Amino acid sequence: MLIGIIFVLGIANFAVHKAVIESNHPLLDTLPASFRARGGRFSLIFEFFVLLAAMLLAGSGWRAAVWGYAIYSVINGVTAWLLLNRRI
């Protein structure tokens, strides 16, 4: 159950992350070139490793990983909403 929750949040995080990368927001120009190169592939790989770590921790019975990843997802969602709606 815990891994399933993290997996669903991970799908949402990847979708939001890709939408932000494709938005070409001026704030993205402040990121290091390695995060922007090849369509943001490095940043998506980093996102994958965050998801993998959370799933492994949750699979080991560490419930705090679910809460931590949920908070991370909310922060990602709010930030993406701010960027995509040009509020920043």
Please say if the pLDDT value at position 53 is more than 80. yes
| Whether residue 29 has pLDDT greater than 80 | no
27-39: average pLDDT: 73
Task: Output the 3-class SS for the chain.
Answer: CHHHHHHHHHHHHHHHHHHHHHCCCHHHHHCCHHHHHHHHHHHHHHHHHHHHHHHHHHHCCCCHHHHHHHHHHHHHHHHHHHHHCCCC
* pLDDT on residue 36: 67
pLDDT of 27 > 80? The answer is no
Please tell me which of 13-17, 27-31, 38-42 the model is most confident about, judged by mean pLDDT: 13-17
Overall average pLDDT of the 33-61 stretch: 86
